[in-house]
Amino acid sequence: MASTEKINRTRKMLQQYLEGDATFENFIAKDMILTDSADGKVSIEIPIQEYHLNASKSIHGGMIASLVDFCGALVTASKGVRLTTLSTDINVSYVTSARYGDTILVNAECVNLDKKFAFTTVEVHSKADGRLIAQGRHTLLVTSTHNDQFKNEDAKL
């Protein structure tokens, strides 16, 4: 079960993306609904909109890859430390698709975090039937940690 502190921390980080300057992250995050956040885990829902689709009217692979990137970075906030990171490796395996009107569930996990790297996994499922849509791995280089509102004494870097 999620602690209120961790879900609030992750929600605050997501809100900062939405309130910031117009960036690609704003576009990716604008439809996200944070449903759960625990130590090293984040779950979100996204209702698929027309602008998420490709020419075949299914979710664009670039949208899914961007979710792996974004949620892989977002899940580090649930570890209790706010980080500045750079992607060093990202991969996505596409299994099936989603269409306009579907809702997808994105579950991200930070499987390891040390002073130099964060290793994350991300799975995308259909909310309606639970089928796996895609899964990805995202490795991030930790370039700095910030001693601000996300600081947590339990996080060891």
pLDDT one digit per residue (tens) for the chain, 157 residues: 456 776 777 777 777 766 767 678 778 888 899 998 888 999 999 999 999 999 999 999 999 999 999 999 888 877 866 667 889 999 999 999 999 999 999 999 999 998 889 999 999 999 999 999 999 999 999 877 655 444 443 443 3
CATH for 35 = 3.10.129.10
Asked if residue 157 belongs to a domain, the reply is no
- With 0.85 as the threshold, say if the pTM is over it: no
| DSSP per-residue codes, the chain | ---HHHHHHHHHHHHHHHHSSS-HHHHHHTT-EEEEEETTEEEEEEE--GGGB-TTSBB-HHHHHHHHHHHHHHGGGGGT-EEEEEEEEEEEEE----BTT-EEEEEEEEEEE-SSEEEEEEEEEETTT--EEEEEEEEEEEEEEE-STT--TT---
Q: Is residue 8 part of a domain?
A: yes
Determine, yes or no, domain membership for 156: no
How many domains are there within the chain? 1
Q: What is the span of the domain harbouring residue 50? A: 4-146
152 part of a folded domain: no
